Amino acid sequence: MAIDLIKQLEEAKERYLSGNLSRRGFLKVLGIACASAGLVSSPVGRMTRSAWAAKKSIRFDGWGGVVQEAFTNYAFKPFSQATGIEVIEGEFGDEDTFLTRVKASFPPGGEYNLFHASGLFDYDRYIKLGYGVVLDESKIPNLKYVMDAMIKPYRALSNGTLSAVPYDYGQTTIAYNSKHIPKKKAEELGVKLLWDQSLKGKLGSVVSNKGNIWYAALYTGQHPNKIEDLDAVWNALREQRKLIKKYWSSGAELMSLLANEEIYATIAWSGRVAALQQRGHPIELLMIDNAYSWQECIFVLKGTDLDIAHQVLNYMLEPDCAINVAIAQNYPPSLDPAKVQMPEAVTKIPTFDPTGTLKGFLWADPPYWNTRQVEFGEMWDRIKAGA
């Protein structure tokens, strides 16, 4: 029986090394074989070690679309060419979907390694779930280039250590088509533009709850991190739903809706609006006080090979790499402009802060939003469905 198992594992090893079997698939075959035969060492152990030694890799999951392309072309492909370490890429549409995948993997983080986390919100959730690590910052020397204003909030959530490196920032703000909505009107209405009755059937919004609740809070005269009258927020969102043509779920869908003029105004990701502008579409960003600002990080999940993770993170923070990724994805890098000279292509990116202090950016407060995630999510799903 042991001979048959070894043969089975040899075949699985060959398929894994040739790229015809995923890492998770190989681990599954290995686990079944070991469990059925009670094998934990000897030829099986040697075979497993030889497979990992022969092919080093790490997995990265991101948002897809132009953002993923930026990482692929300017970070991961060059990294693999320089080191021989393969970066296996996956993608997700929203934070909750990816978290469900991570929870379902065994052990947590065993299949998933790095992901493009939605900043402080995700960071806090994963740390509290016990999915974080403690990075050895001495092995990420390029961390010295990152803005202190971005690093400090992460340290505060993980007892002074880091389980991620800040990578970019931007805003989920309001975009409008200037061919159909005059600039003067947009600026006069501000957040009220998203409730303009004259735009019924031509308004869009994001499918997730945070952005919608954030702007409904502003619409009802409340601070997004200190909402006192939730009923007013829910009523505003019910009112708005009657005007919405589409709740978009990805950056690609957002760009398509705006480019094809299916919608004239929407909550939007600033980088995707910049991409539309570069393609000649008359889409403008409406800059308002307390707009939903965010920062993203590269989070390292528990169970990841930290030696490889440190190499990837340090490479991604190399100024040339980080700047090229920033230009390609249209989001400013986390690098401090006082420490790294930024080219014009970066300084022209919407929401770029030349001071490196990020003063005036309003982040979602993790304790406030995370403790209400279930409540907010359930109510939003009901409203979105028409209840």
Predicted pLDDT of residue 10: 62
Which range in 9-18, 59-68, 82-91 is most confidently predicted, on average pLDDT? 82-91
| Cross-strand bridge partners of residue 292 | 172, 362
Instruction: Give me the sign of the Cα torsion angle 135, 137, 140, 142.
Output: positive
pTM, to two decimals: 0.76
Is the pLDDT at 313 greater than 70? The verdict is: yes
Cβ–Cβ < 8 Å for 139, 310? yes
For residue 30, what pLDDT band results from cuts at 50, 70 and 90?
Answer: low
Residue 360 has what pLDDT?
Answer: 83
List, in sequence order, every residue forming a beta bridge with 173; answer none if it has no partner.
268
pLDDT, position 53:
45
211/199 Cα distance (integer angstroms): 19
Q: Please report which confidence band the pLDDT of residue 348 belongs to, taking 50, 70 and 90 as the band edges.
A: very high
What percentage of the chain carries pLDDT values higher than 90? 74
pLDDT for position 250: 86
Domains of the chain listed by start with CATH number: 2-54 (no CATH), 57-169+294-366 (3.40.190.10), 171-293 (3.40.190.10)
The Cα 43–Cα 56 span in angstroms is 20
Share of the chain above pLDDT 70, in %: 84
pLDDT in tens, 89-115: 999 888 888 999 999 986 765 789 999
| String of DSSP letters for 199-233 | GTTSEEEESSHHHHHHHHHHHTT--TTS---HHHH
Q: Is the pLDDT of residue 152 over 60?
A: yes
For residues 269 and 254, the answer to whether their CB atoms sit within 8 Å is yes
Mean pLDDT of 185-196: 97
What is the rounded CA–CA span in Å between residue 96 and residue 301?
A: 16
Q: With contact defined as beta carbons under 8 Å apart, do 37 and 2 qualify?
A: yes
